[in-house]
Amino acid sequence: MMKCPNCGTDNNNNEAKCRKCGYNLDIIKEYNARGNDNKLISSIDSNTSFIGVMIGFIIFGISLFLSSFLYNPYLINGRISYTIYLGIIILTSLFTGSLITGTISCNNLKDANTNGLSFLVISYLIVLGSLALSYASNSLPSNIISDSVGSVINTTTLSSNSTANNTIDSIELIVFLLIGLVVIFIGTYLGTILVRLIQR
């Protein structure tokens, strides 16, 4: 006997719909048949694995730290700008974290979508918050300088050049963040595919 989650009526196991309210019982059969046996970490609900997303986020943080050292020589030598440096670090870390999230907690593309979206929200809140703090702290000294009466002419020239540079840097960061959206889902899907290949 199978109890209908909608109205509580007992139905035979072979019935596709509840005989009282018409609820589709095949959904329950499919969920029970699928189970969570083939996930490395079980999920809170049918799709989202909080623990898997958090482990991916921890790997994201570690990757952020390590990749900053890895790409630092390119920044010091002047081969890349600071904005490109930040973008590469963010993309590398997003890919690594989402790959781990996909590998640990996903067994199909629906799980990859849900867990990838969860990872995206958490990581982007941290990244955007950090960037906002960085830009706010960098703009403070220029405001203090512009209030100085003695350097009005120099500040006007400097601020127009720095405004153009800030606009270009902002556009580059926005492009990197948009690419990051794609990178997260590619990493999560690749992690899901890796799990399927390993299980075969």
What residues does each domain of the chain span?
1-34, 37-148+164-199
Mean pLDDT calculated for residue range 46-68: 83
Residue located via tokens 């035979």: 12
Structure letter (DSSP) for residue 49:
-
d(CA 200, CA 195): 9
CB atoms within 10 A of CB 63: 21
Distance CA 184, CA 200 (A): 25
- C-alpha 155/C-alpha 45 separation (Å) is 57
> Residue 95 pLDDT more than 90?
yes
- Amino acid in position 54: M
pLDDT tens track for 96-105: 998 998 888 8
Cα gap 179→118, rounded to integer Å: 17
CB distance 6 to 18 below 8 Å: yes
pLDDT (tens digit per residue) in 154-197: 444 444 455 666 777 778 878 888 898 899 889 988 988 888 88
Q: Which residues make Cβ contacts (< 8 Å) with residue 155, sequence separation at least 6?
A: 142, 145, 146, 148
What pLDDT shows up at residue 63? Answer: 92
Q: What is the pTM of this model?
A: 0.62
